Amino acid sequence: MTDTPVTGDLDAPFRFEYDPATLRYASDAARSLSAELDEQGYDRALVVCGATVGETPAVIDPVREGLSDRLAGVFAETTPAKRLGTAYDGLERFRESDADCLVAVGGGSSLDLAKIISVLAATDDDPTVVGEGFVDSGTIAVPEAGLPPIVAVPTTLAGADLSIVAGVTAAPDTCPVTEPVSGGVGDPKLMPEAVCYDPELIATTPQSILAASAMNGFDKGIETIYAANSTPITDATASRGLGLLTEGLLAFGTGDDDPWVYQSLTQGAMLVQYGISRADGTTLSLIHALGHGLTRTYEVQQGAAHAVIAPHALSYLFEQVDGRQSLLADALGVGDASDPDAAVVDRVSEVVATLGLPTHLRDVAGPDREEFPEVADAVLEDAFMANTPLGLEPTREDIVGVLESAW
């Protein structure tokens, strides 16, 4: 009799509805932007990016050349704060340039701001009404129609491109709101029409920024496998993506800058995102909920938070439930280990260490230990906790224990 390895319930029913962007991958994908706009039926693009991208010839020049006479202008004012006021500035520039689409170039900040600009462009309400509604609800209503389409050109590995959500903040000094507020917008209409993945642009990003952003994408792949709403489709894409990311990140962290490294990182980031942001929910789970708890009210950078917390979150998870540890071990290249849960935690820790990212909460601008119960409450209230593996029922004390182990 032959033993059959079981990596999940093959008889479990599922429904997978997904409307992704068109994916274009090439080492010079940015130079194909005009062709992609032609395929999509758009004529004039406003480029949305941050100041650094806008001033870096190795990034912005291929984008300008790729758009050619379809370039309507460049709005290079996005920031990590993702301010609603900045989005209104971008909206003004969009209208002045007579553009019919947005090309978002950069990391999550620029991709998210482009989505907010798109929403505002289709909104009839004046900024004061939008600001007041944002303070009350933490979100902005997405109109049924009229959203300018977005073409994304990511330069980091954070994974904001194949997504239907966007974060946004507001403050009285930049927007008509009465108090500072953070929130987000989510709607299937925010999925970009196309994403151009260009490993040559990824290679232009400073190593420290790329390393930190990589942990967001890396953890997306991990969580997609153990999430309660995982599917065989996302198992396949996340597993392949994790394999590419693991190999690429371990090489990247040791200083290897051969083209194959950036090709692996780019394709890996693309695959771990595929199908995880859908109209019926996301596969993000425990690690991302912990990341939110650590970054929403503290100055710790999101990639650093993910680097610190991931090994400890996984150790806790595997103590409580299986967490599909064997499938994760296979994806991470340690499937032959006799103790797959320990091997997965060790592999994730190895990636963090190789990238030179922080490994303790006490070393980042996060909460003090006496604040852990408050952070735990925020984590337990996070929407992503709905996707934790079946059988996992974290308590406040459990989350505090994870934070303590990470201290």
Q: Between residues 296 and 384, which one has the greater pLDDT?
A: 384
What DSSP line would sit under 214-243, residue for residue? HHHHHHHHHHHHHSTT--HHHHHHHHHHHH
Q: What is the mean pLDDT of residues 189-196?
A: 97
What is d(CA 177, CA 311) in angstroms, rounded to the nearest whole number?
A: 39
Residue 19 phi/psi, 5-degree rounding, is -125, 85
Where does the pLDDT of residue 310 fall: very low under 50, low under 70, confident under 90, or very high at 90 and above? very high
Q: What is the mean pLDDT of residues 63-80?
A: 96
What is d(CA 376, CA 69) in angstroms, rounded to the nearest whole number?
A: 52
Where does the pLDDT of residue 94 fall: very low under 50, low under 70, confident under 90, or very high at 90 and above? very high
How far, rounded to the nearest angstrom, does the alpha carbon of residue 270 sit from its chain's CA centroid? Answer: 11
pLDDT value at position 8?
Answer: 55
Q: What is the mean pLDDT of residues 331-346?
A: 96
Q: Which residues contact 255 (CB under 8 A, 6 or more apart)?
A: none
Question: pLDDT tens digits, residue range 232-279?
Answer: 999 999 999 999 999 999 999 999 999 999 999 999 999 999 999 999
pLDDT value at position 180?
Answer: 79
Question: pLDDT tens digits, residue range 221-233?
Answer: 999 999 999 999 9
Question: If we measure between CA atoms, which residue out of 319, 11, 40, 58 comes closest to residue 201?
Answer: 58
The half-sphere exposure of 233 on its side-chain side, counting CA atoms within 13 A, is 13
Residue 297 has pLDDT above 80, yes or no: no
The answer to whether the CB of 209 falls within 8 A of the CB of 107 is yes
pLDDT value at position 378?
Answer: 94
